[in-house]
Amino acid sequence: MSDPHSKPKFRWHIVVFLAPAVLVYTAVMIYPLFNTLRLSLFTEVDQARVYVGLQNFRTLFGDTVWSTQFWNALGNNFWFFVIHMLVQNPIGIALAAILSHPKLRFASFYRSAIFIPTILSFVIVGFAWKLILSPIWGIAPGMLDAVGLKSLYAPWLGKEAYALTTLSLVSVWQFVGIPMMLIYAALLSIPEEILEAAEVEGITGLAAFWKIKLPLILPSIGIISILTFVANFNAFDLIYAAQGALAGPDFSTDILGTFMYRTFFGFQLQLGDPHMGSTIASAMFAIILVGVCLYLFGIQSRMRRYQF
Amino acid sequence: MNAARKNPFNTYAAHGALILYTLIALFPVFVIVINSFKTRKAIFREPLALPNSDSFSLIGYETVLKQGDFFLYFQNSMIVTVGSLFFILLFGAMAAFALAEYRFKGNLIMGLYLALGIMIPIRIGTVAILEMMVQTGLVNTLWALILVYTAQGLPLAVFILSEFMRQVSDDLKNAGRIDGLSEYRIFFRLVLPLVRPAMATVAVFNMIPIWNDLWFPLILAPAEEVKTLTLGSQVFIGQFVTDWNAVLSALSLAILPVMALYVIFSRQLIRGITSGAVK
């Protein structure tokens, strides 16, 4: 490659290869991220940016108008995450376990069909479910009526007590394909010899799943959990598409993403405030960072990985 | 394992569970699409019936095509998605090659720095991104979206592609060097064609989230002439919320392109996920 007589040259091609990615990534992702954290320390007075230290955070956590909204959004976001962990991931694992049976016919058809909601946009999903659950159209009450359960029907999206859970379940419906696929992949990578050895010992069926496969796919479940966590605490689109920026009824579906959007852009009578928006973004950043660190240092490093 | 083969009851139960879930997954899409072809009366009278000669109507589609500029939205979405994928793949592959191929000071640090973005969502920096786009005059242009999606897609692309590039044989590259190929030619002529399957996987992973994103179009490019299909249908549906024919038709039209992409790329997507590209 290089002339043996000369000294080792500076390898410019490394710089050329790295520069575009590093520049775009730094300029559009990393720099704005830190700039947002920095902006949370400023406020606007007479159209000038003034440094105020941690004042915005004091307002967010201390001023009751702000702190009630913040804790409401955080609590709702947490519930959103809990529903995903309790419903989406177990259903995904169960579907993957069924799909990974050898000799199951039509497996690829089921797999592709169940993945379809995941590829649809939040706008489609939000509106489609809004229409289906709407009391005006009557598909949901009609179907419940057909199985004699009409009394169970309520306009779920319009009731404060149910709206958030309903939307969480819609989101679960949409994204169940992701844990299904990842667990399916993990299950396929378990060597046949292990399962055969278990079979010789008389461990088959459900016992084989609980005692052999589940422990082996735990690392994948860990990854799915952290992906779910990051996605949930950064969610916005579904709530916005189905309930609007006000996350109604009466903020009962407000999560951190919609709260930040409203604060940043303003709504109705409230003016947009980029500095308070940055403050909320910084809080979200801290929450996600804590979650990811807990996972990396608390869970992943302790998990036993098996190499086949 | 074998028990499932021997016991027909287990097989039936497995199929039963899968069919039930498939129905749950497809039912909403089915209801939306069939009702978009019906008259307003039929939509409400028999929402679950297929359209027949009596109830068939294209009135919703007529409204949508007359009122909304869906071809423009579609074109914008195409430009943004294809442009972003092009830059993600080109820049991502170049950086991945540098990290996988050469030993240099700071290689590990650079790899970790680029990997940071896999876990941290770019949305956190939205306030400063908007400010920057306003200052550079890129707000309300498709370039703003392409830049943001490129930055968002690069970390995972570099991570996946560098894993694959480590597997390309050194003998091949060294043979190229002996033949006097420059490092750039080795990359473009020898390595890139070999990692094409991995590039396809990265492209498919990035395509759907970019196409479907609502947040950045809403914030960075809300102007009529640069609306993406996702934002365009959101706004259109918001305006026509009482016109059920139009709403159902708009939803169906928004489903169509993603379904087409999915049908074309689903094998690639599923192979990508199941080959463990995202461990």
Half-sphere exposure of A188 (CA within 13 A, CB side): 18
What are the angstrom distances between the C-alpha of B35 and each of A92, A143, A191, B94? 30, 16, 47, 48
User: Domain range holding A151?
Assistant: 57-302
Q: What's A48's DSSP letter?
A: E
Strand partners, A48: A45
Supply the pLDDT for residue A7: 61
Residues in B touching A277 (Cβ below 8 Å) = 126-127
Quote the tokens at residue A261: 């959007």
- The secondary structure of A199-226 as a DSSP string is HHTT--HHHHIIIIIHHHHHHHHHHHHH
**What is the average pLDDT across A61-82?**
94
Residues in B touching A36 (Cβ below 8 Å) = 124-128
- Identify the structural domains of chain B with CATH numbers, from first to last: 2-63 (no CATH), 69-239 (1.10.3720.10)
B17/A contact by beta carbon, under 8 A: yes
Q: Is residue A158 a contact partner of residue A130, using CB atoms and an 8 Å limit?
A: no
Residue B8 has pLDDT above 70, yes or no: no
pLDDT (tens digit per residue) in A115-151: 999 999 888 899 889 888 888 887 888 888 888 777 7
Quote the tokens at residue A11: 């390898």
Helix, strand, coil shares of chain A, percent, nearest 5, are: 70, 5, 25
Is the previous residue joined to A249 through a cis bond, with omega within 30 degrees of 0? yes
Alpha-carbon dihedral angle through residues A284, A286, A292, A295, given to the nearest 10 degrees: -120
Q: Is residue A235 a contact partner of residue A74, using CB atoms and an 8 Å limit?
A: no
Quote the tokens at residue A286: 């801290």
Supply the pLDDT for residue A2: 46
Supply the pLDDT for residue B122: 93
Helix axes A274-293, A55-62, angle to 10 degrees: 80
The larger pLDDT score, comparing residue A270 to residue A157, is at A157
Residue A74 has pLDDT above 80, yes or no: yes
Total Cβ atoms within 10 A of residue B267: 12
Q: Is residue A163 a contact partner of residue A156, using CB atoms and an 8 Å limit?
A: yes
Task: Give dist(CA B82, CA B122) in Å, integer.
Answer: 20
- Per-window interface: B 50-89 vs A, CB < 8 A: 87
Length of chain A: 308
Q: Rounded to the nearest 5 degrees, what angle is found at the Cα of A72, between the Cα atoms of A66 and A74?
A: 100
Task: Scan for tokens 């529903």, then name that residue.
Answer: A83
Choose the mutation target among B113, B127, B266 for the interface with A, i.e. most A CBs under 10 Å: B127
Residue B174 has pLDDT above 70, yes or no: yes
* Smallest Cα distance from B12 to chain A, Å: 10
CATH of the domain at A102: 1.10.3720.10
B95/A contact by beta carbon, under 8 A: yes
Residue A171 has pLDDT above 90, yes or no: yes
Supply the pLDDT for residue A152: 79
**What is the average pLDDT across A156-185?**
91
Are A288 and B124 inside 8 Å of each other by CB? Answer: yes
Residue A38 included in any domain: no
The larger pLDDT score, comparing residue B201 to residue A238, is at A238
* Low-confidence winner among A2-6, B60-64, B176-180 (lowest mean pLDDT): A2-6
Residue A122 included in any domain: yes
User: Buried b / exposed e across A209-234, counting CB within 10 Å, b at 16+?
Assistant: beebbeebbebbbebbbbbbbbebbb
Helix intervals (H) in A42-189: 55-62, 64-83, 89-99, 107-119, 122-133, 139-146, 160-175, 177-188
Q: What percent of chain B is predicted at pLDDT more than 70? A: 95
pLDDT (tens digit per residue) in B47-96: 888 888 888 888 889 988 888 788 899 999 999 999 999 999 999 999 99
Which of B22, B32, B215 lies closest to A114 in CB terms? B22
User: Buried b / exposed e across A153-170, counting CB within 10 Å, b at 16+?
Assistant: bebbbeeeebbbbbbbbb
Q: What percent of chain A is predicted at pLDDT more than 70? A: 96
* Smallest Cα distance from A6 to chain B, Å: 17
Residue B109 has pLDDT above 90, yes or no: yes
A307 pLDDT tier (thresholds 50, 70, 90)? low
The larger pLDDT score, comparing residue A225 to residue B54, is at A225
Q: Is residue A49 a contact partner of residue A42, using CB atoms and an 8 Å limit?
A: yes
Are A17 and B187 inside 8 Å of each other by CB? Answer: yes
Task: Give dist(CA B183, CA B227) in Å, integer.
Answer: 41
Residue B276 has pLDDT above 80, yes or no: no
Q: Is residue B140 a contact partner of residue B223, using CB atoms and an 8 Å limit?
A: yes
Q: Considering its fold, how many domains does chain A have in total?
A: 1
